[in-house]
């Protein structure tokens, strides 16, 4: 049976992706660090959708984790047809003052794990002429982000990488989509230390965001920006100097 592997499935947008994939008839491979939450979600999914749900608890900021996860999935003879690289986090504060190790781990998770997992699963998808990869970036991808400098830069990478990959595999039967959510009601703002910013006022709900991503992946769209206002803002940044967009981004972060 074809399966969908979702990173960051324990909460937020990833949890909704897990449901959407199971409802669409895929078995699901749930990945995050919190095994208890994943096991509870797996039980719910089995009960509500009748699909098989596997749990692989791991810390994807460990540089060796993506390969170990891939090896475990292959060993378990799971046929991954859909890869959703969703796990990620941000940190609010000045680059020089935030915990250095945590910022490097963010780069490992947001960039390295996403790239490694894409590289590991894509060749079989191309060979089978079927497969889907959804990479979760952010509206942060479109401009520099003072007070979240590393996070914004990691999401620019995800956007650029995904657009290039979409182009490379366009004739292969494999779909690649980049999802750019704006502020969404999840655990993200708590982990980022950003609950007090103006940014999360009027945040979208995680189910709507995941659904837009999933529908765009099914249609093999290269890019989806959730919410009309977010899409308009992302479009406008194309015509503004980087310094101006950086100043604006800082204002909403304070
Ligand atoms: N919420 C927003 O406003 C927003 C806006 C734009 C983009 N995004 C992006 O959307 C994606 C999903 O975030 P979310 O909003 O749903 O936030 P969330 O509720 O905090 O979910 C993040 C998920 O990633 C997992 N995760 C975190 N660190 C991990 C690690 N080292 N190894 C493996 N899994 C890890 C978390 O589970 P564990 O803690 O159990 O590991 C959780 O399942 C992220 O890439 C984020 O950057 C979010």
CATH number at residue 7: 3.40.50.720
Mean pLDDT of 40-53: 98
Q: 171: CA distance to ligand 1 center in Å?
A: 31
| pLDDT at 1 (0 to 100) | 82
Mean pLDDT of 186-191: 92
Q: And the tokens for 127?
A: 């060979």
| pLDDT at 249 (0 to 100) | 87
User: Given a cut of 90, is residue 15 above it in pLDDT?
Assistant: yes
User: Given a cut of 80, is residue 196 above it in pLDDT?
Assistant: no
- Residue 60 neighbours by CB under 8 Å, 6+ apart: 7, 31, 66, 69, 87, 108, 109, 113
Find the angle CA(134)-CA(148)-CA(86) to the nearest 5 degrees: 15
User: Given a cut of 90, is residue 103 above it in pLDDT?
Assistant: yes
Q: What is the pLDDT of residues 118-166, one digit of tens each?
A: 999 999 999 999 999 999 999 999 999 999 999 999 999 999 999 999 9
Going by alpha carbons, the residue nearest to atom 34 of ligand 1 is 32
Give the domain extent around 61: 2-253
Q: Is the C-beta atom of 59 inside 6 A of ligand 1? A: yes
Q: Is the C-beta atom of 138 inside 6 A of ligand 1? A: yes
How would residue 55 be classed by pLDDT, with cut points 50, 70 and 90?
Answer: very high
Q: 12: CA distance to ligand 1 center in Å?
A: 7
- Residue 139 neighbours by CB under 8 Å, 6+ apart: 180, 181, 182, 225, 230, 233, 234
Index of the ligand 1 atom closest to the CA of residue 14 = 16
Mean pLDDT of 224-253: 90
Q: Is the C-beta atom of 135 inside 6 A of ligand 1? A: no
5, 12, 231: which to mutate for ligand 1, most atoms within 8 A of CB?
12
Domain count for the chain:
1
Residue with tokens 């997992």: 117
Mean pLDDT of 91-99: 97
| pLDDT at 54 (0 to 100) | 98
Q: Is the C-beta atom of 213 inside 6 A of ligand 1? A: no
Q: Is the C-beta atom of 145 inside 6 A of ligand 1? A: no
Cβ contact 38:30 at 8 Å? yes
User: Given a cut of 80, is residue 49 above it in pLDDT?
Assistant: yes
Mean pLDDT of 212-227: 98
Mean pLDDT of 60-82: 98
């Amino acid at each position: 049976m074809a399966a969908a592997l979702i990173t960051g499935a324990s909460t937020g947008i990833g949890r909704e992706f897990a449901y959407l994939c199971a409802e669409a008839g895929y078995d699901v491979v749930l990945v995050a660090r919190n095994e208890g939450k994943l096991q509870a979600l797996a039980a719910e999914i089995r009960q509500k959708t009748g699909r098989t749900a596997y749990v692989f608890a791991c810390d994807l900021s460990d540089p060796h984790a993506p390969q170990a996860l891939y090896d475990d999935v292959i060993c378990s003879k799971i046929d991954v047809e859909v890869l959703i690289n969703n796990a990620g986090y941000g940190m609010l504060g000045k680059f020089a003052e935030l915990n250095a190790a945590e910022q490097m781990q963010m780069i490992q998770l947001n960039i390295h794990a996403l790239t490694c997992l894409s590289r590991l699963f894509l060749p079989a998808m191309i060979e089978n002429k079927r497969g889907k990869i959804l990479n979760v970036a952010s509206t942060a991808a479109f401009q520099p982000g003072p007070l979240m400098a590393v996070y914004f830069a990691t999401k620019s990478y995800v956007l650029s990488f995904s657009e290039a990959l979409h182009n490379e595999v366009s004739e292969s039967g494999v779909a690649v989509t980049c999802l750019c959510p704006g502020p969404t009601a999840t655990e993200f703002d708590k982990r980022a230390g950003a609950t007090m910013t103006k940014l999360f006022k009027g945040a979208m709900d995680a189910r709507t965001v995941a659904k837009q991503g999933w529908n765009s992946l099914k249609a093999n769209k290269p890019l989806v920006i959730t919410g009309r206002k977010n899409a308009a803002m992302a479009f406008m940044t194309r015509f503004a100097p980087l310094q101006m967009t950086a100043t604006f981004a800082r204002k909403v972060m304070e």
